[in-house]
Amino acid sequence: MAALTSLTLLVASTLVPGVSGTGDAYADVRPIEIHNAPVATPSLAIRCGRVLTMNAGDTILDPGMLLVENGDITYVGAPIDVPAGFESIELDEAWVTPGFIDLHSHIHAGGWGDTNDMVMPTNHEFSTRPTIVAGNPNVRRACAAGVTTIFGIPGSGTSISGFGVLLKTKTESTYEGAVLADPGGMKVAQTHNPERRAGDIGATRAGLGWLLEEVNDRAVQARDTGSFDPALANLTRIHAGELPVLIHCAGNEGVASTVRMWKGRYDTRCAVSHGSFDGWYTADYVASMGVPVNHGPRTFNFNLGMKEGRIVGTSAAYVEAGVPLFSLNTDAPVIPQEELFLQGSVSVHHGADAYTMLKALTIHPARTFGIEDRVGSLEVGKDADLVIWTGDPLDPRTRAEVVVIDGEVQYQRTHDGQWF
C-alpha cells in the first residue's frame, strides 16, 4: 500500500506540476487541467454600441471596444484606434457580452446517451470524459446562441453519478481543444431522482442520505489521514476544497438537506442545482449559508404546496433572499442549450431584474465554479469568449451575430448562415 501511494505521488507530481499542497496526495493520476496550447489566432479589434463587461464594477461601455490577442482579452474600454495588424469588427448597434455559461448541461455526448450508470448508488470516480462528442450539432447550435462554456455532467439517476468536464462550445474542435477543466467538478443528486426503486438501499431519503454521508466520511478520513484510496481519489479532492460540487436537488426539504450536508457538515464548494418547485422556500437559509444556486430548468413555482395560487418567479425569489451567486441553467436538452438566454428572459418576466439575470448567465456561474479568472466577464487577461448580439441578449428577437471563443471566431452569421 505504501509503495503504491508513493508511486502515485511520483506520477501525479510529474504530470501535474502545478498542483501543490495537500492536493498532491489526492491528485488524479490521469491527465487533468489541460490548458489549451495557444495557437496562432488573429488579433481582433471589436467595436460595438454597447459592451456589457460584467466586471465587478458593473462597467457598461456605450460604445465600447475590445482588443483580443492570442486568445485573451488585452483591452476593454472606450473606443481607440484599431492597432495595426488587427482584424476589425465594427457594429454600431450591437451589444457585446461575455459568452454565456451553463453549469448544468448534458449535451456533451450529443444527446441523452451515456448519462446514468445505475448499478451502484454512488459512482464518484466516474467521469463524462469518455462520452464527449466535441462539436456535436447541439454544441454548435449552443455556440451560435452565445453559450460558450458548459459543464457537461452525468445524470441524476444515482446519488453520485461522477465528475463532469467544463467545455468550451467550439464549433469544430476535439476534446483537447475544447476542454476548460477536467474534472470540472462533481455531480451529486441529493433528491428527486436518485431514489432507488430496485429493492436495495436508497429507496428513501434516509437511505440516500446515509449513502452520501458514508462515502463522504470515508473521503474526509482519507483527506485527514493523507492516505490514498483510488476509489476515493477525486471525491477526496472535493473534500480538500480543490473542486466544486454541483448538487441536483429540488423541493424545500431537498434544498435544505443539500445545504445542511454539503455546506454545514462537509463545508465543500457546493452549489445547489435546480432548487425547483418549492425549493425557494429555503432561499433564506441557502443565502445565510452562502451557498450558490444554479437554477433551472424550472424558473417558476405555481405554488401548490403553499396553495397561494401565485406564479412565483423563483429566480427572483432566490435573488431577493440574498443568495450570493445566482446562476441559471437549462439542464439541456431538457431545455435546448441554445435557449439558455431565455431562462433569463422568463425570469425577468416573472419578476427578476434583467441585469442580475445577465450576471446569472455569465460571471455568477464562473465564480460559482472558480473559473472566473478565465471566463464570465470581459476583462483584460481573461479568455476572449464573447458574443456580439443585435441587441438585448435576453430578447428572443435578438440574435448572435458573432461568437468568439478563445479569441477565435467560432460563428459569424453573415458567413455561416443563421444557426439560431
Partner 1 sequence: MKTMKKQLIGGALGLSLALSFAAPSLALLADDHEEDSYLAIVGGDIFAGTGEVLRGATLLSKNGKIEEIGYELILPDGCETVDAHGMRVYPGLVALSATTRLTQGTFAAGVEIHDFVPHEEHSEICGDCGKSFEEIVPPALDPGEFSTEHLATDAFRTDFDDSFDPFSGYMVMALGNGITTVQQSSAAVKLKRGDISGVSLSEKTLTSQSWSGSNPAGKADLREKFRLATEYLADYRRWEEAVKSDKELKEPSKKGIDGRILDILEGRTMARFSANERADLLGIARLAQQFKFRPVIQGCVEGWTVAEELGRAGAFAIVTPRTRRDRSETTTHEGGSSIENAAILTRAGVQVAVVPANTSIDMGGISGRDLLSLPLEAGFAIRGGMDERAALESITVVPARLLGIDHRVGTLEIGKDCDALITDGDLLHYQTFVQYTVVEGKLVYDKQEEVFYSHIRPRPEAAVDPGEEVSGEVESVEVEEIVEEESDEE
Partner 2 sequence: MKMRNLLVGLACVLGTQAPLLAAPASPTPDLFALRVGRAETVSQGTIEHAVILIENGKIITIGQDLEIERGIRVIDRPDWVVTPGFVNCYSRAGMSSSGGSGTQPGVQASTELYPRQPIYGELLEAGVTTLGLYPPGNQIPGQAVVVSTAGDSRESMLVREGAYLKILMESNSKAKKTLRDGFEEADKHLEKVTEAREKHEKAKEKYDDELKKWKKYDDEEKAKKKEPVDPGDFVEPDPSDEAAAFLDLREGELSAMFSIRKAGDYLHLIDALGEEQISWSMRVPLRNDIDLYEVAEKLGADERQVVVEPRLTLMPWTARERNIPAELDRAGARVVFIPNGDDLGNQEKWRQHVGHLVKRGMDPQAALAAMTHEPAVLLGVDETVGSLGAGKEATMLFFDGDPFQASTNLKAVMHAGDFVEEASAQ
Looking at beta carbons only, is 214 or 308 nearer to partner 2? 308
The interface partner of residue 297, options being partner 1, partner 2, none and the CB cut-off 5 to 8 Å by kind, is partner 1
Under rule CB under 8 A, how many of the chain's residues touch partner 1? 60
Looking at beta carbons only, is 69 or 278 nearer to partner 2? 278
Q: List the interface residues with partner 1, window 207-246 (CB under 8 A).
A: none
Looking at beta carbons only, is 39 or 304 nearer to partner 2? 304
Following DSSP, what letter does each residue of 43-58 receive, concatenated? Answer: -EEEEEEEEE---TT-
Shortest Å distance, C-beta 334 to partner 1: 8
The CA distance from 318 to 410, in Å, is 34
Cα–chain center distance at 377:
14
Q: Is 350 in the site for partner 1 (CB under 8 A)?
A: yes
Residues making up the chain, counted from first to last = 420
CA distances from 118 to 127, 239, 347 (A): 14, 24, 34
Shortest Å distance, C-beta 128 to partner 1: 22
Q: List the interface residues with partner 1, window 329-348 (CB under 8 A).
A: 334-336, 339, 342-343, 345-346, 348
Shortest Å distance, C-beta 58 to partner 1: 20
Q: Is 333 helix (H, G, I), strand (E, B) or coil?
A: coil
Number of other residues whose CB lies within 10 A of the CB of residue 328: 31
Q: Where are the beta strands (DSSP E) in 121-202?
A: 147-152, 160-168, 179-189
The CA distance from 18 to 89, in Å, is 37
Q: Is 85 in the site for partner 1 (CB under 8 A)?
A: no
The CA distance from 195 to 192, in Å, is 7
The CA distance from 67 to 79, in Å, is 10
Cis-peptide into 333, omega within 30 deg: yes
Shortest Å distance, C-beta 281 to partner 2: 14
Number of other residues whose CB lies within 10 A of the CB of residue 359: 25
Q: List the interface residues with partner 1, window 176-205 (CB under 8 A).
A: 192-193
Q: Is 112 in the site for partner 2 (CB under 8 A)?
A: no
Indicate the residue type of 111. G
The interface partner of residue 197, options being partner 1, partner 2, none and the CB cut-off 5 to 8 Å by kind, is none
Looking at beta carbons only, is 224 or 308 nearer to partner 2? 308
The CA-based diameter of the chain, rounded to the nearest angstrom, is 69
The CA distance from 94 to 230, in Å, is 51
CA-based nearest residue to 72, from 109, 35, 108: 35
List the grid coordinates of 78: 472606450
CA-based nearest residue to 186, from 241, 149, 253: 241
Q: List the interface residues with partner 1, window 94-113 (CB under 8 A).
A: 94
Q: Which of 15, 55, 399, 416 binds partner 1 (CB under 8 A)?
A: 399
Shortest Å distance, C-beta 377 to partner 1: 23
Shortest Å distance, C-beta 298 to partner 2: 17
Burial class for 165, CB neighbours closer than 10 Å (0-12, 13-18, 19+)? buried
Q: Is 199 in the site for partner 2 (CB under 8 A)?
A: no
Indicate the pairing of strand 160-168 with strand 147-152. Answer: antiparallel
The CA distance from 100 to 363, in Å, is 9
Q: List the interface residues with partner 2, window 279-338 (CB under 8 A).
A: 302, 304, 306-309
Q: List the interface residues with partner 1, window 122-161 (CB under 8 A).
A: 137, 141
Q: List the interface residues with partner 1, window 249-308 (CB under 8 A).
A: 250-254, 276-279, 297-306, 308
Shortest Å distance, C-beta 315 to partner 2: 21
The interface partner of residue 411, options being partner 1, partner 2, none and the CB cut-off 5 to 8 Å by kind, is none
The contact set with partner 1 (CB under 8 A) reads 90-91, 93-94, 137, 141, 192-193, 250-254, 276-279, 297-306, 308-311, 313-314, 334-336, 339, 342-343, 345-346, 348-351, 354, 390-391, 394-399, 401, 413-414, 418-420
Residues making contact with partner 2 (CB under 8 A): 302, 304, 306-309
